[in-house]
Amino acid sequence: DTGVSQDPRHKITKRGQNVTFRCDPISEHNRLYWYRQTLGQGPEFLTYFQNEAQLEKSRLLSDRFSAERPKGSFSTLEIQRTEQGDSAMYLCASSLAVTVWDTITYEQYFGPGTRLTVT
Amino acid sequence: QQQVKQSPQSLIVQKGGISIINCAYENTAFDYFPWYQQFPGKGPALLIAIRPDVSEKKEGRFTISFNKSAKQFSLHIMDSQPGDSATYFCAASISGKLIFGQGTELSVKP
């Protein structure tokens, strides 16, 4: 069963350092999403791609954050000059369009997440 | 208007009982309403989902009830089991992205 995978699973870094996370979606899924989840909260949308195009970015995604999906397959999320407030679980999800009658929905499947701790 | 409000924050149910979690939304543009189950240290797992033109959907012990006019939907877990103990999130989709509720921590006592 090849679900969504994320690497690394845990990352501890010092404030000011840059970090990069990788997400490998389910192979036939053309949409890929990034979310951030802090303790005791629901995931918050950051950005998403359809194939290699980044279609939307949340206001939560400051200039220090950048995401890419160069060939429409895996994606990377980079955080530059990390701050303690960046400590969170970073979740990746992928989806495929499901058409029921004339309505398209996107069932999103999440990876295990990358836990970032900024000290 | 983009918020999804979820209640209760925590819930304790006896084994075999019914667990009920409620969510409310404002934005009528939401077009898909999934529920996710999350265990500590894991990513959310899709449990069941409903579209707004359907009033109820049942999959095994899990049922979503949807009230479009009230802009509310709920998850019912029948015959709750200790293995159901987890955090449950409702969500609403707009343009494919998900807006999540705050979560409900469910504990099922043996």
Q: How confident is the model at residue A1 (pLDDT cuts 50, 70, 90)?
A: low
State the smallest CA–CA distance between residue A81 and chain B in angstroms: 26
Assess whether the previous peptide bond of A43 is cis (omega < 30° from 0).
Answer: no
Q: How confident is the model at residue B1 (pLDDT cuts 50, 70, 90)?
A: low
pLDDT at A90: 98
Determine the residue of chain B that is closest to A99 in CA distance.
Answer: B51
Q: Widest CA span of chain B, in angstroms?
A: 41
Q: What average pLDDT does range A70-99 have in this prediction?
A: 93
pLDDT at A109: 95
Facing B96 at nearest CB: one of A91, A106, A109: A106
pLDDT at A99: 74
Which among A78, A71, A75 has a CA at the least distance from the CA of A94? A75
Do A47 and A34 form a contact (C-beta atoms < 8 A)?
yes
Q: What average pLDDT does range A75-89 have in this prediction?
A: 97
The single-letter code of the amino acid at A15 is R
Q: How confident is the model at residue B104 (pLDDT cuts 50, 70, 90)?
A: very high
State the smallest CA–CA distance between residue A16 and chain B in angstroms: 26
Question: What mean pLDDT, rounded, does chain A reach?
Answer: 92
CB contact under 8 A, A105 and B93: yes
CB-based burial, A33-69: b 16+ in 10 Å, e otherwise: bbbbbeeeebbbbbbbbbeeeeeeebeebeeebebeb
CB contact under 8 A, B32 and A106: yes
Q: What average pLDDT does range A23-38 have in this prediction?
A: 94
Residue position matching structure tokens 């807006």: B99
Residues on chain B touching A39 (C-beta within 8 angstroms) = none
Q: What average pLDDT does range B54-67 have in this prediction?
A: 96
Instruction: Judge whether residue B62 has pLDDT over 70.
Output: yes
The single-letter code of the amino acid at A43 is P
Q: Widest CA span of chain A, in angstroms?
A: 51
Q: Choosing among A107, A110, A115, which should be mutated to test the B contact, i.e. which has the most B CBs within 10 A?
A: A110
The three-class DSSP label of residue A27 is coil
Do B96 and B110 form a contact (C-beta atoms < 8 A)?
no
pLDDT at A98: 75
pLDDT, tens only, B4-17:
999 999 999 999 99
pLDDT at B95: 81
Q: How confident is the model at residue A48 (pLDDT cuts 50, 70, 90)?
A: very high
Residues in chain B whose beta carbon is closer than 8 A to a beta carbon of chain A? 6, 31-32, 34, 36, 41-46, 49, 51, 53, 89, 91, 93, 95-103
Q: What average pLDDT does range A89-103 have in this prediction?
A: 84
pLDDT, tens only, B17-45:
999 999 999 999 998 999 999 999 999 99
- By DSSP bridging, strand B4-7 and strand B10-14 are unpaired
CB-based burial, B42-69: b 16+ in 10 Å, e otherwise: ebbebbbbbebeeeebeeeebbbbbeee
* CA–CA dist B9, A73 (Å, integer): 37
Determine the residue of chain B that is closest to A46 in CA distance.
Answer: B97
